Structures are given as structure tokens and as C-alpha cells.
């Protein structure tokens, strides 16, 4: 089987092998920047500007990877890919990557899934492009090295195990065992770890431990996939317990998987590829649309399990840290007592002797004989069914007049100690130690909900939190801007001509979307940008719209001078808007790009 | 105005010894012999001091029975744990307490300060509560203490010492008034305790006449106490159980060094009610329950019991009954002169009391008696007149109305069953 360890997948940024790559892209800006980027990393790049050129190049040369824009003149990317696959019966086909604005549309296309090995959504993330291209090439190498050449032209891997009916429902599942096993990943799994949106979930076909499932957190992007449990043994860890589903419950399965799918596309890239467990947890909660909820679980040392594939202690620790950051909020679930020795919550609660902690207790009522003041346990008075005072030998016959029962004591059969009431103590089921109830510290277990801020973080990534405000991330920049920035930087290096980059972020974005809808916000944002554009006098100035931020590049001006002027521009541009968009801007100069 | 007094003194001075005796026969019969006995015993104590004995090595259990003693129990237990001879076991019974005493006992038990704490839901009376504690006790010696008592550091060591003698079944502790300087009433009681307990019981001890092991602080050989069935129902259980032990042949002794401090009533009304209870219980126990000790034809009749019975009969009962008779006789016989003679008798009593006080202070050097000295004249009057009438009232009440059967110190259900 084609496998690779996660370590191999997380290869460093520098490529080990030079690849031959075809870029079929009609926009000159885009293919220029792609060529620049890939050739800088040592690859050989050919350009095709329409579908026929691309097909021709693919027939003539042997490429490792082909980047095909879905919308090409003359012949679209999908046609190119399917033609090549049909022609190449036993020939090796390059890894084909689709570039498209409409990833959803491509996936919906009946041919879409089979013909491409990966989909890169536009706008392109230039770092992701390089990474995807290089990893696809590695996957191709591994497949070639495999002793049995793949007959199938697509990316499916033959599973040696019996297929589940769920695998034939037309979903694209990773399977365990099969794709993710023993810390090793199949080519498909690696594919999914690149954030390929075509995968629907992870199908668990055999009982799996939580430790083994841990692989999904250690491998980028896999954690986003819903876990479909065929075994029924995962319980709350799984997103869908398919053991109780029949093949006919497809509407439910369909609905759930597509919901996950939808939310996955809304998850910000920062979280999608995050390696931070806390951030992954936020992403997971966002995608599943469920609170992080504990349920009682006698198998866990914590007595609860959360509805994610993580140990309860780890999940709670991460969730607490996220609460500190304001991304989650707590809701009380239950209070437990903890073994101070081994941190287990599996405590056996019992009434026990105050002296020796034995639970071998008997309750004894005592009688008071009024006449002679004898007061002792009932057994001392018992003579068959009669009650006879052991002190004065009178028979007690009249309750309330001869005698009464003023109380009882609890006598320990182990040590003979007696008390008016027993103590409550715990025995730890894990370490076997004894704990007094006063000594065992309580521990509260919570349900965690995503806060507004948490949802915002899931949708907008670090920019929302301001964690990245001072470091400009090239990954966030649109390609068009990168090209222009490159030119400006070149100009600065050669002629010392300064430039200023301004990034604008909208503080009230979420509020406006929540109250007025996303369309209204887009309109306001467009109008704001338009206002800004008209007030900028110099034609050399460039305004580029980004994902969650917009950018202005002003050539030939010093950042410090620009700042004050720009403030006025923003105020006047905001003036005529219907809603207060809350534009916040940051200014960067050549010094920030050194 | 002073003329009659001067006349009276002149008259008294003129009397011969025989005619003086005729005038002061009451003092001569009911007071003088007792003081004489005290003087002799003090001499004996001073000339034959008891040597220190080996410390007691057995196991010791403390029994405490309390009703609504939430506030006092902890201090009492802590004082016991401060003893030079630590108790091996402390068993506390909350007798139907309505306050938070049961919770307090649980806390003390969890803190390891007491061994067992039991709480009855309904009140059973002190005897029954002590019986319950006695049933749980494992010590060779059980020491019964009151919740409101505190102890000298060596009290336990000293009260245990006499048990070296296997014939000793019970030892009485020495009760000292803790709030002596609170007011006149408590100061008088402090003097009374000093004379009647600290010195009086030493005298009784010399002649094997200790007839009451006080409930505030007394030690018992457990098999002796269990042998007589523990405590019986009704009030005055301390006197009751002591008489039972003596009837069973056990020696009862007094440990003068084993000091136990207690608060006495600060109000006269409370004091009078307390004394009414004590005296009527004593009458009930001596002349009803244990009357055979006075009957020479009873198989239980013993000469050694006769002495303390006579002591009580003459010096407590007799003096109370004959005092009013004496006064009436005095005035009937001598008219106005009677008052002078009575004052003369009181003057003589004062001298006797002062000497008794000095002797008591002498034999119990651990009690600071000097501060009580100014109160001695007042005490003499208080004890000679007021308390004598209180006793008389109590005896009459018990004799006529059997008031001990209505005592609220014992639950009604017990009184009803006791008849």
C-alpha cells in the first residue's frame, strides 16, 4: 500500500527534487506570479494560456504536476484533464490540480472529482500552491515506486478489507483501517491533509482506540472531517454513529455530511491548517456545529468523554485555555471528586467507619429502659421475640412507657468502633487508595460553547484576534497585490523610491452581517472602497480587495507622512455610508518588508 | 440602744460552763462535734501525709454525658487532652440535645479529639446517657466528668492513683469553684466547697466514709460500676451509685489533689433550686431507696455505712429540723434576751467557721484561700441561717410531696416508670 509517515508529509519548505510543472492559466498576472514562485523554488515551469495549448503540452512532455485553471479559453480544464486521462491508458499521468473560483461547482460536476487530484480555490494562497504542488509530486513518486502500478486513473486506493455498504454510497471517505493506520497515511489521506475539499469524512470500520484516532489531530486538516463510526464503539467521539444507520438512511447521512461540508468551507485557512490543538478544537466545534459536550463514560478516568476524539483531560485543558482567550464559554455540567493521588475521578463512594475506614458497618438501635436507666443495643434485650432488660430482668412490654428507642449507632464489624453516624469516604478504583471525602478536592466539568468571538475566529482567523496585526502575512495578500508589491520593492531597492501599504480591516463586519445580512455588508464595503478610490488622486495608487481585509498600495510616499492623510481619507470615505463599517487601518512601509 | 447588748454580754459572761451548755445546746449538739471531728482529721492529715504512689498503668476511659452542651463540650475535651496523664478513650453522649451538639461531636470525632460520640434523638436522662457511654467503654477505669468542668493538669494522674489498691472501686475528685470571685453568692459557695468537699471529704476518707462520688468528677473501676448495673434512673445518680458500690463492698475514696474546676450558680434563686434538688435527692436515696442501710435487721446493714448515715441524720437533717425549734425555745424562754443569745451563738459559730476555714486552707494548699478570707463572716451567717432553712424546706417538700419524682432533670417518662 502506498503510505507515508506524517513526518514525511510535514516536509520542510525547501524542495528536495526539481519538478517539471505545467501551468495552464489565462490571466497573465496569475501565471506570471506562479511561474515566479515555482521557478524560485527550483522547478521547471511551462505556461499554457488556453486549453488546447495545455493539452498539446501534456501530450508532448512528461510533467510531474499540471496546474489547470478550470476556466480556460477554447477548452476548459476539466476537458483537458479527462482527455489526457482517457488517452493515457498505461502511461503515467501527471498529478492534476484544478484552480477555480468555484470549488463547489467543480465538486458538483459529475466528472469533477475523478479527474483532478486536488483543487485549489481562488484567490490563490501562494504558499499553499507551492506546498500542494510539491506534495502532489511526492505522492506521484510514491505511487510510481509502488510495486503494483495503479490501474485506476484516479486517486482511490484498493482496500484489502471487505468494503462496507457505506463506501458504495458515492461518498468520498477515508477509511480506518486503510487510509489512516498505525500512524501511517495513505496517499489519499495525505491528499485530504492538504485540505482537499472533496473528502466527505473518515469511515471507521474496525474498533479503534482514542490514541490511534489521535493521528487526525497531528495531521493537518484531517481533524475537520466528520468521523463516521461503523463499529458503534466510539460513542460520543464519532460525529455519526453509522452502526445504527441502515443504508437507507441516506438522507440523514447526506444532510449531516453536507452540513459539515458547508461549514468546512467557511472555516478560515488559519484554522484549517493549524497545528495548534486549541485552534483545531475551535475549528472542530465550528464545523460540527455542536458544543463541546461531556457525557458520562465509565471507561474514562475522568468519568466523562467529550464529543471530540480527544481524551477528556486534554480536551478540558485545551477548552479551559480557550475560555481564557474568550473563544469559548463554560456551562456547568457536573461536579466530581478527584483522587488526590492519581487524579482519577473513578471513586467508589461508601459509608464507612470513622476510625478504620472499613465499610463493614452495622446499624444498631439502642433501647432505653426507663425504670433502671439501662441504655444499650437492642440485641442485648432480645430473648426470642421478647425484650428483657439485661440489667434488671424486667420484661419490656409497653413502648413509650417501659422503654423507647432514643437513637442508633453504627458499629464497625472490622474494628468495633461505633459512632452515631458513619463517615463518607471514597476508594479510588484506579489506584486503590482511600480518600476521605473532605480531602478529595472537587472538580467541575463544563460544557463549552463557542462564543461570538470564537465563531469570528473560526471564520476570520488570526486577523480577527489581532494576533497578526503587526506582522503582515503574505499568505493573506491577494496575488495582484503581491505582484505590485514586488515591483514597488524592486523600485525601492533600485531608486530608494518609498511606498506605503495600508491594510484595512472592518471592525463592525460581523455586526452588520448579523443585523443586515452579508449582502448589505458587501455593498457597504464596496461603496467604501469606491469612495476611497475616488479620493485617492494618484492613478499609480492601487486598491485591492482581499478576503477579510482590503489593501491600498501608495507608491512614492513615505509611510509616516501618509498615515495622517489617510486617516482623513478614511473618515470622509465612511461619511456617506449607510452603516458604520468601522474601518481600522494599519500602515506598512519598505522597512516592514526587509 | 446599745444597753441591751451590753446587758446581754454581761449576762453571758456571768454564766457558768453548765448553764452555757444549757443556753447553747443546739450548737453543742449539732455543730461542735462536727467541727471537732474536722480538727482531729486535719491533725491526722498533717501528721500522716499520704505518700505518692505508682502511676496507674491501666486503660482509662472518659465518659461525658451532656444535654445541649454545644458551647462547652469542646473546651472540656481540650482540657482533658491537656492532661499529664492522657485519657486512652473519650466517649461523649449527647442526650437528646436540641442544639448543634451532635454535629459538634461528629467534628470532634473526625478531628480525633474524642473516640466516640453518640447522639440520642430523644432525651433519656443523665443516668441512661452515662449507661450508654459505659456500655461502649473499654477502659479498666472510667472517669465521669461534667461538660462544664475544667481540670488541673495532673487531675487524671491523681484521681487514678488510689486504684493501686484493688479494693478501691471509686475515687472522688476534688471540686473547686472556678467563679469564686464573681459575686458574694459564689464566694460563699467557694468557702463552702472548700470546707465541705476539699477538707470535709479528706476527713471522710480517713474514716472510709466517702459516700458520694461527685458526678462532676469521679473515677470508677469499670467492672465495679458495671457490676452494680451502672447508673439507676432518677436524680442524684452520683450519690445513688456510690451507695450501691459501697453496698457491693467496694471502697470509695477521695483524691484531694485531683482538682476539678466548676462554675457554681451566681444567682440566689438558682442556687436555692439547685440545693432543693440535691437535698431532696439525698433524702429520697438515703431514706427510701437505700433505707436498709439504717435498718439493723437488714442483711445489708453495715457498721461503716451507719457512720455516714448518722452524720447526715444528725448534722444535716437534725440541725435543719431543730434549728427553728431552738429559736422558738430561745425566745419563749428568754424573751428579748433570746436575740442576744442567738447572736452569741452566731459569734461562736463564726469562730468555729473561721477555724474550719483556716484548717481547710491548710490541708488544701493548692487552693488560693487567702482571697476568700474577707467573706468568711458573711459565709458563716449565710450557711448558718439561710442554707439551713433551704435544707429544711427541701426535706419537708420531699417528705410531704415526694418532689424528687417531678424533677425536670429527669425526663417525665422516667419518673412515670420509676414509681
Shortest Cα distance, chain A CAs vs residue B410, angstroms: 10
Question: Cβ contact (<8 Å) for A417 and B116?
Answer: yes
B109 touches chain A (CB under 8 A): yes
Question: Cβ contact (<8 Å) for A374 and B414?
Answer: no
Which single residue is written with the C-alpha cell 443556753? B23
d(CA B123, CA B95): 5
Strand stretches in A34-128, DSSP E: 44-48, 65-69, 95-100, 118-121
Distances (CA, A) of B279 to B171, B282, B391, B393, B400: 22, 5, 6, 9, 14
Q: Is the pLDDT of residue A157 over 60?
A: no
Q: Which tens digit of pLDDT belongs to each residue from A77-98?
A: 778 888 887 777 666 778 888 8
B231 touches chain A (CB under 8 A): yes
Answer with the residue of higher pLDDT: A473 or A582.
A582
Chain B residue numbers touching A377 (CB-CB < 8 A): 135
Question: Cβ contact (<8 Å) for A375 and B124?
Answer: yes
Using an 8 Å Cβ cutoff, are A95 and A105 in contact?
A: no
Chain A residue numbers touching B65 (CB-CB < 8 A): none
Nearest to A217 by CA among A171, A279, A263, A304: A279
Average pLDDT, chain A: 80
d(CA A199, CA A172): 5
Query: In chain A, whose CA is at the least distance from the CA of B102?
Result: A420
d(CA A257, CA A261): 6
DSSP of B85-116, one letter per residue?
S--SEEEEEE-S-SSSHHHHHHHHHHTTSSSE
Question: Cβ contact (<8 Å) for B414 and A373?
Answer: yes
Nearest to A289 by CA among A267, A270, A272, A319: A267
Question: Cβ contact (<8 Å) for B106 and A421?
Answer: yes
Nearest CB among B105, B123, B418 relative to A371 is that of: B418
Q: Which tens digit of pLDDT belongs to each residue from B192-209?
A: 999 888 888 888 888 888
Chain A residue numbers touching B128 (CB-CB < 8 A): 368, 373-375, 406
**Cell numbers standing for residue B231:** 447508673
Across the range A359-366, mean pLDDT stands at 90
pLDDT of residue A106: 66
pLDDT of residue A6: 40
Using an 8 Å Cβ cutoff, are B383 and B393 in contact?
A: no
Query: For chain B, which residues score pLDDT lower than 70?
Result: 1-2, 49-52, 419
Main-chain phi, psi angles of A50, to 5 degrees: -140, 175
Chain A residues with at least one Cβ partner in B under 8 Å: 354, 366, 368, 370-377, 391-392, 400-402, 404, 406-407, 409, 417-421, 423, 438
Question: Cβ contact (<8 Å) for B118 and A372?
Answer: no
Cis peptide before A391 (omega within 30 of 0): no
pLDDT of residue A5: 40
Question: Cβ contact (<8 Å) for A373 and B231?
Answer: yes
Question: Cβ contact (<8 Å) for A418 and B123?
Answer: no
B61 touches chain A (CB under 8 A): no
pLDDT of residue A499: 84
Query: In chain B, whose CA is at the least distance from the CA of A391?
Result: B229
Mutation test of the interface with chain B: which of A354, A364, A367, A368, choosing the one with the most B Cβ atoms within 10 A? A368
pLDDT of residue A472: 60
pLDDT of residue A90: 63
Nearest to B242 by CA among B208, B269, B272, B266: B208
Q: Which residues pair with A419 in a beta bridge?
A: A410
Instruction: Identify the band that residue A9 occupies on the pLDDT scale cut at 50, 70 and 90.
Output: very low
pLDDT of residue A8: 39
- The ipTM value here is 0.82
Give the number of A-B residue pairs with CB atoms closer than 8 Å: 90
Instruction: Identify the band that residue A14 occupies on the pLDDT scale cut at 50, 70 and 90.
Output: very low
pLDDT of residue B87: 92
Question: Cβ contact (<8 Å) for A375 and B135?
Answer: yes
Chain A residue numbers touching B229 (CB-CB < 8 A): 372, 374, 391-392
Q: Which tens digit of pLDDT belongs to each residue from A109-156?
A: 666 666 777 777 776 776 677 777 887 777 777 766 654 444 444 444
Across the range A296-300, mean pLDDT stands at 86
Instruction: Identify the band that residue A104 occupies on the pLDDT scale cut at 50, 70 and 90.
Output: low
Share of chain A above pLDDT 70, in %: 86
Instruction: Identify the band that residue A7 occupies on the pLDDT scale cut at 50, 70 and 90.
Output: very low
Across the range A289-303, mean pLDDT stands at 88
Chain A residue numbers touching B127 (CB-CB < 8 A): 373
Question: Cβ contact (<8 Å) for B118 and A407?
Answer: yes
Across the range A55-68, mean pLDDT stands at 83
Q: Is the pLDDT of residue A312 over 80?
A: yes
pLDDT of residue B419: 62
The C-alpha angle B291, B293, B296, rounded to 5 degrees, equals: 105
d(CA B358, CA B22): 29
Q: Which of A179-193, A302-316, A493-507, B277-291 has the lowest mean pLDDT?
A: A179-193
Q: Is the pLDDT of residue A184 over 80?
A: no
Edge-first strand order for the sheet with A347-352 is A347-352, A423-428, A434-436
Q: Which tens digit of pLDDT belongs to each residue from A522-546?
A: 888 888 888 888 887 776 678 888 7
Q: Which tens digit of pLDDT belongs to each residue from A375-409?
A: 988 988 999 889 999 988 889 888 888 898 998 88
Q: Which residues pair with B118 in a beta bridge?
A: B93
DSSP of A470-487, one letter per residue?
TS--GGGS-HHHHHHHHH
Q: Which tens digit of pLDDT belongs to each residue from A244-280?
A: 777 667 788 888 888 888 888 888 888 888 888 888 8
pLDDT of residue A502: 86
Shortest Cα distance, chain B CAs vs residue A307, angstroms: 41
pLDDT of residue A15: 47
d(CA A17, CA A328): 44
pLDDT of residue A371: 87
Amino acid at each position: 500500500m502506498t503510505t507515508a509517515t506524517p513526518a514525511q508529509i510535514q516536509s520542510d519548505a525547501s524542495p528536495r527534487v526539481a519538478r517539471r510543472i505545467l501551468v495552464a492559466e489565462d490571466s497573465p498576472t496569475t501565471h506570471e506570479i506562479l511561474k515566479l514562485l515555482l521557478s524560485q523554488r527550483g522547478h521547471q515551469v511551462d505556461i499554457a494560456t488556453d486549453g488546447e495549448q495545455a493539452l498539446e503540452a501534456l501530450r508532448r512532455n512528461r510533467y510531474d504536476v499540471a496546474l489547470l485553471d478550470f476556466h480556460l479559453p477554447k477548452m476548459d480544464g476539466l476537458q483537458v484533464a479527462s482527455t489526457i486521462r482517457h488517452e493515457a491508458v498505461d502511461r503515467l499521468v501527471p498529478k492534476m490540480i484544478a484552480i477555480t473560483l468555484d470549488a463547489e461547482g467543480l465538486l458538483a460536476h459529475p466528472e469533477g472529482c475523478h479527474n483532478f487530484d486536488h483543487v485549489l480555490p481562488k484567490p490563490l494562497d501562494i504558499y499553499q500552491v507551492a506546498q500542494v504542488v510539491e506534495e502532489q509530486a511526492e505522492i506521484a513518486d510514491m505511487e510510481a515506486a509502488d510495486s503494483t502500478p495503479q490501474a485506476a486513473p484516479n486517486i482511490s486506493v484498493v482496500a484489502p478489507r471487505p468494503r462496507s455498504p457505506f463506501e458504495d454510497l458515492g461518498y468520498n471517505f477515508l477509511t480506518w483501517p486503510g487510509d489512516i493506520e498505525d500512524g501511517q497515511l495513505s496517499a489519499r489521506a495525505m491528499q485530504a491533509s492538504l485540505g482537499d475539499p472533496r473528502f466527505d469524512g473518515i469511515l471507521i470500520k474496525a474498533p479503534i482506540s482514542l490514541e490511534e484516532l489521535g493521528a487526525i489531530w497531528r495531521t493537518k486538516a484531517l481533524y475537520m472531517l466528520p468521523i463516521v463510526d461503523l463499529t458503534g464503539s466510539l460513542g460520543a467521539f464519532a460525529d455519526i454513529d453509522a452502526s445504527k444507520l441502515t443504508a437507507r438512511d441516506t438522507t440523514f447521512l447526506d444532510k449531516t455530511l453536507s452540513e459539515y461540508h458547508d461549514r468546512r468551507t467557511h472555516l478560515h485557512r488559519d484554522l484549517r491548517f493549524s497545528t495548534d490543538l486549541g485552534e483545531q478544537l475551535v475549528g472542530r466545534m465550528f464545523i460540527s456545529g455542536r458544543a463541546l459536550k461531556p457525557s458520562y463514560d465509565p471507561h474514562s478516568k475522568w468519568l466523562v468523554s467529550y464529543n471530540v476524539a480527544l481524551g477528556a483531560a486534554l480536551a478540558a485543558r485545551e477548552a479551559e485555555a480557550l475560555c481564557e482567550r474568550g473563544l469559548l464559554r463554560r456551562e456547568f455540567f457536573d461536579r466530581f471528586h478527584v483522587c488526590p493521588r492519581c487524579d482519577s475521578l473513578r471513586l467508589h463512594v461508601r459509608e464507612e467507619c470513622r476510625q478504620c475506614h472499613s465499610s463493614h458497618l452495622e446499624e444498631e438501635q439502642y433501647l432505653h429502659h426507663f425504670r433502671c436507666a439501662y441504655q444499650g443495643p437492642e440485641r442485648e434485650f432480645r430473648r426470642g421475640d421478647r425484650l428483657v432488660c439485661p440489667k434488671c430482668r424486667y420484661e419490656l412490654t409497653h413502648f413509650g412507657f417501659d422503654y423507647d428507642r432514643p437513637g442508633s449507632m453504627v458499629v464497625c464489624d472490622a474494628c468495633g468502633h461505633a459512632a452515631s453516624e458513619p463517615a463518607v469516604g471514597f476508594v479510588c478504583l484506579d489506584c486503590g487508595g482511600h480518600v476521605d471525602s473532605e480531602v478529595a478536592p472537587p472538580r467541575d466539568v463544563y460544557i463549552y460553547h463557542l462564543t461570538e468571538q470564537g465563531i469570528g475566529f473560526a471564520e476570520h482567523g488570526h486577523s480577527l484576534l489581532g494576533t497578526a496585526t503587526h506582522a503582515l502575512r503574505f499568505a493573506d495578500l491577494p496575488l495582484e497585490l503581491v505582484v505590485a508589491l514586488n515591483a514597488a520593492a524592486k523600485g525601492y531597492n533600485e531608486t530608494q523610491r518609498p511606498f506605503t501599504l495600508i491594510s484595512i480591516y472592518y471592525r463592525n463586519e460581523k455586526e452588520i452581517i448579523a443585523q443586515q445580512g452579508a449582502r448589505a455588508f458587501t455593498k457597504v464595503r464596496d461603496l467604501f472602497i469606491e469612495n476611497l478610490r475616488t479620493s485617492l488622486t494618484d492613478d499609480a495608487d492601487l486598491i485591492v480587495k482581499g478576503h477579510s481585509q482590503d489593501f491600498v498600495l501608495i507608491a512614492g510616499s513615505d509611510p509616516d507622512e501618509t498615515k495622517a492623510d489617510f486617516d482623513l481619507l478614511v473618515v470622509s470615505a465612511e461619511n456617506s455610508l449607510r452603516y458604520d463599517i468601522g474601518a481600522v487601518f494599519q500602515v506598512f512601509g519598505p522597512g516592514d518588508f526587509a | 440602744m446599745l444597753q441591751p447588748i451590753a446587758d446581754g454580754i454581761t449576762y453571758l459572761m456571768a454564766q457558768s460552763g453548765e448553764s452555757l451548755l444549757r443556753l447553747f445546746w443546739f450548737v453543742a449538739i449539732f455543730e461542735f462535734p462536727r467541727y471537732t471531728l474536722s480538727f482531729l482529721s486535719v491533725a491526722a492529715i498533717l501528721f500522716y501525709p499520704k505518700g505518692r504512689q505508682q502511676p496507674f498503668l491501666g486503660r482509662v476511659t472518659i465518659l461525658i454525658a451532656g444535654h445541649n452542651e454545644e458551647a462547652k463540650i469542646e473546651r472540656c475535651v481540650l482540657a482533658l487532652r491537656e492532661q499529664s496523664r492522657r485519657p486512652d478513650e473519650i466517649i461523649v453522649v449527647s442526650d437528646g440535645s436540641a442544639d448543634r451538639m451532635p454535629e459538634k461531636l461528629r467534628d470532634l470525632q473526625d478531628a480525633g479529639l474524642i473516640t466516640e460520640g453518640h447522639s440520642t434523638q430523644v432525651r433519656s436522662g443523665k443516668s441512661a446517657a452515662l449507661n450508654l457511654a459505659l456500655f461502649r467503654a473499654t477502659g479498666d477505669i472510667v472517669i465521669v466528668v461534667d461538660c462544664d468542668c475544667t481540670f488541673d493538669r495532673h487531675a487524671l494522674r491523681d484521681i487514678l492513683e488510689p486504684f493501686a489498691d484493688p479494693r478501691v472501686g471509686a475515687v472522688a475528685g476534688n471540686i473547686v469553684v472556678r467563679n469564686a470571685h464573681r459575686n458574694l453568692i459564689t464566694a460563699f459557695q467557694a468557702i463552702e466547697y472548700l470546707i465541705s468537699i476539699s477538707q470535709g471529704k479528706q476527713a471522710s476518707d480517713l474514716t472510709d466514709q466517702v459516700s458520694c462520688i461527685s458526678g462532676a468528677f469521679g473515677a470508677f473501676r469499670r467492672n465495679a460500676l458495671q457490676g452494680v448495673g451502672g447508673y439507676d434512673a432518677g436524680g442524684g445518680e452520683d450519690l445513688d451509685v456510690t451507695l450501691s458500690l459501697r453496698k457491693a463492698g467496694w471502697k470509695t475514696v477521695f483524691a484531694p489533689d485531683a482538682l476539678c474546676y466548676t462554675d457554681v450558680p451566681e444567682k440566689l434563686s438558682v442556687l436555692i433550686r439547685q440545693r432543693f434538688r440535691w437535698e431532696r435527692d439525698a433524702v429520697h436515696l438515703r431514706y427510701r431507696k437505700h433505707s436498709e442501710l439504717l435498718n439493723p435487721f437488714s442483711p445489708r446493714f453495715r457498721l461503716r455505712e451507719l457512720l455516714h448515715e448518722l452524720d447526715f441524720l444528725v448534722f444535716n437533717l437534725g440541725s435543719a429540723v431543730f434549728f427553728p425549734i431552738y429559736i422558738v425555745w430561745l425566745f419563749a424562754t428568754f424573751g428579748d434576751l433570746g436575740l442576744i443569745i442567738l447572736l452569741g451563738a452566731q459569734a461562736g459559730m463564726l469562730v468555729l467557721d473561721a477555724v474550719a476555714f483556716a484548717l481547710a486552707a491548710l490541708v488544701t494548699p493548692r487552693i488560693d484561700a487567702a482571697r476568700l478570707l474577707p467573706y468568711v463572716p458573711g459565709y458563716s451567717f449565710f450557711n448558718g441561717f439561710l442554707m439551713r432553712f433551704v435544707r429544711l424546706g427541701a426535706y419537708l417538700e420531699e417528705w410531704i410531696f415526694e418532689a424528687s419524682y417531678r424533677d425536670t432533670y429527669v425526663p417525665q417518662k422516667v419518673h412515670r416508670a420509676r414509681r
